[in-house]
Structure 1
Amino acid sequence: MSAKNLFLASGFVRAPLQNGVGRYVGQLQRIVLKFCKSNGSSRGMRDFIEQDLVSFAEQNPGVVVYLKPRRHRGPVVVGEYLNGDRVWMSMHNKTQAEITKWIEVLRTQQGDVSATRLRKYQYTDHPSIQGPWTPFTFKNPELNTAELPNPAFGANDRLPMSATEQLRLLFEKQKLAAKTEDLKTGE
């Protein structure tokens, strides 16, 4: 384990299980836009509020949007999620388009997962005692040292011979037998 993980809170992924099976539930619960009415670094935030905020609120009725004007402070966006996480992002000197993109990122996330050291990488409702399956679980270990392409590892060598292939081989044998018979009679 690296030293940077020592100071992170450890936990499990707290995403809602099977989100999207019946219907998708957006995880962003609340977004707070903090800005200054006169500060130059808040210009992009003010443009976003004037031009894009109403359409964002109409497209996302499950997200509560708060506006908080503050004097002589830089613009900030705070996203609060259903699992209790809060994500704080500074929008200092960002354009309207950049703020739109960052708010879309906040809308599609499930919280601040990067600040948590994961205890497990897999989760299932019905755990198995056999361990996680991988595509290499039942592969032949000879593949590790083989020079590829190798006809010994072909996919069709394990299949039974088809009827067409059997007839073709029988025809070739008869043809070969007829040639050898002609050679014997021709001597």
Structure 2
Amino acid sequence: MSNVTWNLFWGSSFVKAPLQNGIGRYVQQLQRITFKFCKTHGGSHGMREFIEKDLVDFARENPGVVVYVKPRRHRSPCLKAEYLNGGSDYISTHKMSQDDIRRWVEYLRGRSGYPTERLRKYQHTDHPSIQGVWTPWLHRDPALNLVDYPNEELSCAHKTEKTATDELVELYEKQRLASEGKDSL
């Protein structure tokens, strides 16, 4: 899909954190969830099972979320979620299983309420790098993945190079001995 087509369906913005959420404390953004279903229609079977078996546990685990159960005659089942920022989501759960509905409820519970958007960044270049992303493991030997640690061969203990600390201690000792030699004269 080209960028032009992508932008027709998805907005684009920079990263947003609702109410600086997660900085200091977490505030769950889901405010209200409504379970709409039919008591007799076969397409609502999964929704009825979820309400009977999982809804009470969901309500106990999420005391800040208001849960509504709304039976409707001869209507398709759905979930409606409302968020603190005023946004809402509607998901049709027609002929979905109890597990599918549980997954959708968890998805709605973890959302911020903002519409899904393509993220933009502040930097732009017409000639992107072909080198790829650098990581600390980029130029390491793949055999290191199979090594059992601690490993004497890879440790610093067997190396003969002097460290900067060793050099400073040696210089200090030389100066101390030189100054003691002058004092004794």
Name the TM-score, length of structure 2 as normaliser.
Answer: 0.60
In structure 1, runs of 5+ residues without a counterpart are 123-130, 133-142, 150-160, 168-187
1:30 pairs with one of 22, 29, 32? 32
C-alpha RMSD over aligned residues: 3.2
By how many angstroms is 1:2 displaced? 1.4
After superposition, the Cα gap between the structure-2 partners of 1:55 and 1:27, relative to the gap in structure 1 and judged at 3 Å, is same
Residue in structure 1 matched with residue 162 of structure 2 by the alignment: 162
Deviation of 1:29 after TM superposition, in Å, equals 0.8
Instruction: Tell me how far 1:163 sits from its aligned partner.
Output: 5.3
Which residue of structure 1 lines up, in the alignment, with residue 107 of structure 2? 105
Give the 3 Å change call, closer, same or farther, for CA 39–112 of structure 1 in structure 2.
farther
Whether the 8 Å contact between 1:77 and 1:91 is mirrored in structure 2 is yes
Partner SS, residue 47 of structure 2: helix
Partner letter of residue 44 of structure 2?
S
Contact map agreement 1:87 1:112 (CA 8 A) in 2: no
CA drift at 1:105: 0.9
Residues 1:47 and 1:10: Cα distance change in structure 2 (over 3 Å)? same
For residues 38 and 29 of structure 2, the distance between their equivalents in structure 1, rounded to whole angstroms, comes to: 28
Corresponding residue SS for 2:28: coil
Q: In structure 2, how many angstroms separate the alpha carbons of the residues matched to 1:82 and 1:12?
A: 20
Q: Which residue matches 1:39? A: 41
Per the TM alignment, residue 82 of structure 1 is displaced from its structure 2 partner at its CA by 1.3
- What letter matches 2:100 in structure 1? E
Q: 1:82 aligns with which of 70, 81, 84?
A: 84
Query: Offset of 1:37 from its aligned partner?
Result: 0.7
Given the superposition, is the C-alpha separation of residues 48 and 92 from structure 1 closer, same or farther in structure 2, using an over 3 Å criterion? same
**Percent of aligned positions with the same letter in both sequences?**
52
* Pairwise CA distance, 1:66: 0.9
Distance (Å, rounded) in 2 between the aligned partners of 1:91 and 1:104: 14
Larger radius of gyration: 1
Distance 1:102 1:8, change over 3 A: closer
- In the comparison of the two structures, how many residue pairs are matched? 133
| TM-score (normalizing by structure 1) | 0.59
List gaps (5 residues or longer) in structure 2: 125-133, 141-160, 168-185
The answer as to whether partners of 2:83 and 2:113 remain within 8 angstroms in 1 is: yes
Are the equivalent residues in 2 in contact too, given 1:13–1:113 (CA < 8 A)? no
Structure 1 distance, partners of 2:72, 2:163, is 82
